[in-house]
A and B are shown apart, each in its own frame.
Chain A
């Protein structure tokens, strides 16, 4: 089975940096994903890691350590529009489906 943990909520100030951690315990692993979801809207894809290391994409970066079962999403230069839930998800070994964590709600304050 899959067990994915991430903090429930985080608060940060506009212009600052926030790091959202995700730990996972899975029976198989074929990639880790981060999605952003604004309230009442569809989740949208942010990043994908399958090898250890850091993937950078503009203000967002994602890191993976497979040996530790650990990932983080780093949001830099926070903007008010970054207030959303951030969902960590692991793909199973067969590559068939994503299993999601409970999501981290990030509130950006002025």
Chain B
């Protein structure tokens, strides 16, 4: 069981470019969550998705950020026209339907120059 796989682990972008972060949930998990973590801070909820559906996007910035979890393939968090404030670690977690525990991936660290 490979666990929750995130890639890339590290991503460097210049201001104005696009960042795409991918997350493959654990085998058998159909729920995906994205969190953002700034240095020395806690995890901030961004979005909760099930296959082909966004269930809760209350933590997503209204502009430039989008997420999807297609029927086939990984979940993708997309950040358009990145700014320096987007520099952070982005963690993905997955769970079984009705499960208590979220299993986290190792994160993708975005640096915006």
Contacts and interface: CB of A to CB of B under 8 A. Distances in A.
Contacts of B105: 42
Contacts of A99: 45
Interface string A74-110: 0000000000000101010001111111110000000
A48 interface: yes
Interface string B19-33: 000000000000001
B41 A31 contact: no
Interface residues on A, range: 20 to 34
Nearest to B105: A42
Given A96-B56, A103-B42, A31 B106 contact: no
Contacts of B101: 33, 45, 48
Interface residues on B, range: 20 to 34
Interface string B71-113: 0000000000000000000010000001011111111000000
A43 interface: yes
B41 A102 contact: yes
B100 A41 contact: no
Given A41-B106, A45-B101, A97 B42 contact: no
B103 A45 contact: yes
Contact of A96 (B55, B100, B106, B107): B55
15 contacts: A31-B100, A35-B104, A41-B107, A42-B4, A42-B91, A43-B43, A44-B104, A45-B102, A45-B103, A48-B100, A48-B101, A97-B48, A99-B45, A102-B41, A102-B42
Interface of B: 4, 33, 35, 41-45, 48, 55-56, 91, 98, 100-107
